[in-house]
């Protein structure tokens, strides 16, 4: 069984006023080439296929194109919902897509619903079926992003520590029940097929020991920070999503984040993006190979003084593709407020194959803090920064400050993902 593990495509991402449509189209084209070159049996997307709960029409078109082209190639597809995905949007076409060889699991349900199989393709798929139908190649404990409300009931008076432990226990219990259903299915299929199928598990969450970055949204606000790896079931391979940086978890070969296939923030620009080619057989995991994804849109973050900026820009321009401008995030290290900073920067890049998407000013310690704060623009602050500074003006006890901060994060998360609002459709 050869499986491609990927995640966090974020189709429809609107990145500082720029569309990622061309990059995602290039990604789909490249992925189909890899499917053919490596004789892949199935593709697994471990959450966040879309960037928002209401994806743009072109994002849906890319989604449908991926499904149709994989179906034409005879390759199975399993899509898991992530915290950015809308359950209702993924579910609306689920039954139709099943006829195109695509399984979509958007939310948490009964354990048996999450124990699914992925098919083999090619001659091996038909070796034991007289009708030529595809045979299963592996069993998947197919769990999407697990919303707290789907696996537990909140209780009044719980401390933050109690809430964290309760959620961790609920998620661990969900994995255990689904794994038990997968073992039952494995036994039944072994009796029918005469061979033991490997079992893999999926997840869209943060695990203990995972390295994150600024592009990743907190998903369990004020409760579970990270899921311990020893709480996963003993599957042959665990395919994870949500963290954009590709990595082994705790150095373990069989627990992996594939990472996002394109850079979703400037902090990811230096990462080598990849998808993972996972090989399994009756004995379990045989190997994992990283397939680097070509960069179709160059990005770079510069941090320097205004005096050093011309030389820094020349270095970027020397490596830039003249046909496709490199996107830049520029941080100027200056104490003095410069009202004409954008104009100065724009004059420097006028003839270069670059596009400046963001300009920030990083102050040093020489200017008085109060004066620096007064000169700060909203473009240089996140919503969390603004709230933290407003909160600092109040005389509040630390527990109340923490509670208000968590409530604010929850509100921001709900506004970013409307389906999580009370009374909205799940």
User: Would 240 be classed as within a structural domain?
Assistant: yes
* Residue 357 CB partners (closer than 8 Å, separation 6+): 15, 16, 17, 18, 327, 328, 329
pLDDT of 202 strictly over 50 = yes
Residue 120 sits in the same domain as residue 195? yes
pLDDT of residue 224: 55
Alpha carbon separation from 9 to 81, 129, 202 (Å, rounded): 12, 35, 16
pLDDT of residue 425: 47
409: containing domain: 392-426
Residue 272 sits in the same domain as residue 334? no
Per-residue pLDDT band at 123 (split at 50, 70, 90): very low
DSSP string, 246-290: -EEETTEEEEEE---SS--SGGGTTS--EEEEEEEETTEEEEEEE
Residue 131 sits in the same domain as residue 214? yes
Q: What are 180-189's pLDDT values in tens digits?
A: 999 999 999 9
Residue 269 sits in the same domain as residue 149? yes
Residue 125 sits in the same domain as residue 221? yes
What number is the average pLDDT over the span 272-285? Answer: 96
pLDDT of residue 260: 96
Q: What are 96-117's pLDDT values in tens digits?
A: 999 999 999 999 999 999 999 9
User: Would 20 be classed as within a structural domain?
Assistant: yes
Per-residue pLDDT band at 423 (split at 50, 70, 90): low
User: Would 221 be classed as within a structural domain?
Assistant: yes
User: Would 148 be classed as within a structural domain?
Assistant: yes
Spatial contact of 280 and 198, defined as CB atoms under 8 Å apart: yes
pLDDT of 372 strictly over 60 = no
What's the pTM?
0.81
Residue at a domain's end among 241, 267, 292: 292
Residue 323 sits in the same domain as residue 186? no
SS3 for 350? coil
pLDDT of 215 strictly over 80 = no
Residue 348 sits in the same domain as residue 241? no
User: Would 215 be classed as within a structural domain?
Assistant: yes
Residue 288 sits in the same domain as residue 317? no
SS (H, E, C) 101-158: CEEEECCCCCHHHHEEEEECCCHHHHCCCCCCCCCEEEEEECCCCCCHHHHCCCCCCC
Share of the chain above pLDDT 90, in %: 61
pLDDT of 43 strictly over 70 = yes
pLDDT of residue 162: 74
Radius of gyration of the chain (CA): 24
Per-residue pLDDT band at 210 (split at 50, 70, 90): low
What number is the average pLDDT over the span 44-55? Answer: 95
How many structural domains is the chain composed of?
3
Higher-pLDDT residue of 279, 212: 279
Distance CA 426, CA 420 (A): 8
Residue at a domain's end among 292, 313, 343: 292
Q: What are 129-167's pLDDT values in tens digits?
A: 444 457 999 999 999 999 888 887 767 666 767 777 888
User: Would 181 be classed as within a structural domain?
Assistant: yes
Mean pLDDT taken over the chain: 86
Instruction: Give the CATH number of the domain where residue 325 resides.
Output: 3.30.160.720
Instruction: Give the CATH number of the domain where residue 193 resides.
Output: 3.60.21.10
Per-residue pLDDT band at 127 (split at 50, 70, 90): very low
pLDDT of 212 strictly over 70 = no
User: Would 197 be classed as within a structural domain?
Assistant: yes
Bridge partners of 289?
277
Residue 220 sits in the same domain as residue 139? yes
Tokens of 294: 């070509």
User: Would 385 be classed as within a structural domain?
Assistant: no
**247: closest CA among 2, 7, 1?**
7
The interaxial angle of helices 383-391 and 398-416, nearest 10 deg, is 150
Alpha carbon separation from 165 to 11, 19, 168, 169, 171 (Å, rounded): 33, 40, 5, 6, 10
**253: closest CA among 242, 268, 243, 239?**
239
Spatial contact of 6 and 243, defined as CB atoms under 8 Å apart: no
Residue at a domain's end among 250, 275, 292: 292
What number is the average pLDDT over the span 373-381? Answer: 54
Higher-pLDDT residue of 270, 410: 270
Residue 266 sits in the same domain as residue 408? no
Residue 221 sits in the same domain as residue 362? no
Long-range contacts of 246-251 (CB under 8 A, 24+ apart): 246/271, 246/272, 246/273, 246/274, 246/276, 246/290, 247/210, 247/211, 249/207, 249/209, 249/210, 250/207, 250/208, 250/209
What number is the average pLDDT over the span 89-98? Answer: 95
Residue 263 sits in the same domain as residue 310? no
pLDDT of 258 strictly over 90 = yes
């Amino acid at each position: 069984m050869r499986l491609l593990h990927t995640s966090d495509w974020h189709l429809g991402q609107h990145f500082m006023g720029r569309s990622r449509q061309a990059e995602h189209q290039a990604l789909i084209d490249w992925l189909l080439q890899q499917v053919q070159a490596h004789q892949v049996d199935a593709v697994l997307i471990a959450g966040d296929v879309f960037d928002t709960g209401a994806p743009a029409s072109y994002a849906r078109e890319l989604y449908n194109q991926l499904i149709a082209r994989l179906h034409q190639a005879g390759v199975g597809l399993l899509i898991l919902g992530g915290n950015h995905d809308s359950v209702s949007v993924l579910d609306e076409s689920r039954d139709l897509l099943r006829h195109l060889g695509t399984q979509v699991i958007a939310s948490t349900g009964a354990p048996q619903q999450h124990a699914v199989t992925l098919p083999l393709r090619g001659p091996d798929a038909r070796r034991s079926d007289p009708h030529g139908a595809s045979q299963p190649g592996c069993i998947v404990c197919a769990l999407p992003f697990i919303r707290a409300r789907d696996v537990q009931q909140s209780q009044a008076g719980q401390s933050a520590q109690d809430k964290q432990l309760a959620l961790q226990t609920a998620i661990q219990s969900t994995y255990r029940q689904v794994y038990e259903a997968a073992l039952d299915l494995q036994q039944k299929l072994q009796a029918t097929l005469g061979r033991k199928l490997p079992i893999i598990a999926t997840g869209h969450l943060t695990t203990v020991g995972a390295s994150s970055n600024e592009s990743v949204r907190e998903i369990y606000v004020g409760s579970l920070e990270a899921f311990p790896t020893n709480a996963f079931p003993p599957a042959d391979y665990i395919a994870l999503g949500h963290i954009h940086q590709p990595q082994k978890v705790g150095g373990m070969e069989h627990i992996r984040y594939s990472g996002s296939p394109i850079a979703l923030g400037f902090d990811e620009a230096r990462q080598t993006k990849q998808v993972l080619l996972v090989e399994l057989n009756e004995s379990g995991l045989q190997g994992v190979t990283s397939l680097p994804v070509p960069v179709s849109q160059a990005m770079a973050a510069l941090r320097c003084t205004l005096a050093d900026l011309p030389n820094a820009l020349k270095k970027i321009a020397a490596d830039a593709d003249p046909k496709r401008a490199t996107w830049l995030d520029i941080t100027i290290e200056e104490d003095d407020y410069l009202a004409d900073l954008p104009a100065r920067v724009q004059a420097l890049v006028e003839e270069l194959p670059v596009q400046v998407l963001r300009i920030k000013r990083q102050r040093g310690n020489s200017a008085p803090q109060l004066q620096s704060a007064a000169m700060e623009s909203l473009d240089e602050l996140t919503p969390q920064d603004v709230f933290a500074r407003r909160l600092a003006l109040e005389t509040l006890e630390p527990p109340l400050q923490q509670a208000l901060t968590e409530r604010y994060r929850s509100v921001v998360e709900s506004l970013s993902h409307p389906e999580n609002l009370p009374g909205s459709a799940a």
